[in-house]
Amino acid sequence: MKRRYAIADVFTDTPFLGNPVAVVLDTEGMSTEQMQRIAVEFGYSETTFVLPPDKAENTARVRIFTPSREIPFAGHPNVGTAYVLAQYAVLAGDVVPDTLRFEEIAGLVPIAILKDDGKVTGAELLVPEALSCRSEVSPAKVAACLSLGVEEISTKTHNPLVASVGLPFLVVELASREALRQCVPNLQGFRDILPLDGAVSVYAWVAETDPDAQCDLHARMFTPRMTEDPATGSATAAVTALLATLQNKTTLALHIHQGVDMGRASSLYTHYDATSGEPLVRVGGKSVITMEGTFSL
């Protein structure tokens, strides 16, 4: 049976920048093992599989796989999958709803479709969970993870800690933009502290100090496969919620650059809003379809 797929570069409108995601559209009869093998074959940080929803009022059930495991939620795969489905709906002559609703392990994920002059340009998701902060890790151990000196780990805003809004990450603030450039994941350093409270990856960030710069934060994210992720929506959303909470802000909007140091520049926009009493965090950006095809299964 021929199975259709599309590859979208997420958090960019330029092909071959941003973070690629493979979106498998024909998933009837696929087993979990087959999905995992397909994710390994694509080799991206995540591959998504679009299934019929369990509830008719929702758009789809979406399963998300890394090359090593299924995960309950992620940022860029959701943004990319929503963008692909919206673009395919346009091609079919269907009306594109303002919001898609994905059923996932972490819960229901609403995703707003972004448009410019009526043209679909990207998507913005609402994270499925409130911020949770878990274990802290010593600066020395995090420095070893990133091949840095301990003086390059900042505790000015927060200690290195596990944070999550649906998928946990070990989050660390660095002392300078140069320290962020110099990061190299160290396998033994990872093994010494991860996994921890569900986190297996390290998200490092630093504030932009130039008032004329086009972003608020710079970030990099490293996985236990010793690879780098060009754009990580779920971690970015968690950091936005963390900073808003630490700064006692009811609203916070951030523009984050990620992937720059690996040659896949990504642009993420986040919004934190607790004015209603219940904190809501959104993360979104542009996307572009770069490849389409089929495979036999």
Of 50, 163, 20, 27, residue with least CA distance to 111? 50
Catalytic residue among 33, 41, 46, 278: 46
From residue 55, how far is each of 30, 52, 108, 153 by CA, in Å?
Answer: 20, 9, 11, 46
Q: Which residue has the tokens 């091949």?
A: 147
Cα-based torsion angle of the residue sequence 126, 127, 129, 131 in order, rounded to the nearest 10 degrees = -110
SS3 (DSSP) at 223: coil
Is 46 one of the annotated active-site residues of the chain? yes
φ/ψ of residue 32, rounded to 5: -60, -40
Listed in sequence order, the residues at least 6 apart from 12 whose beta carbon sits closer than 8 Å to its beta carbon are 18, 265, 266, 267, 285, 286, 287, 288
In this structure, the chain runs to a length of 297
| Helix, coil or strand: residue 197 | coil
Distance set, CA 265 to CA 171, 230, 231, 237 (Å): 20, 7, 8, 18
> CA quadruple 112, 113, 117, 121: dihedral positive or negative?
positive
**Catalytic site positions:** 46
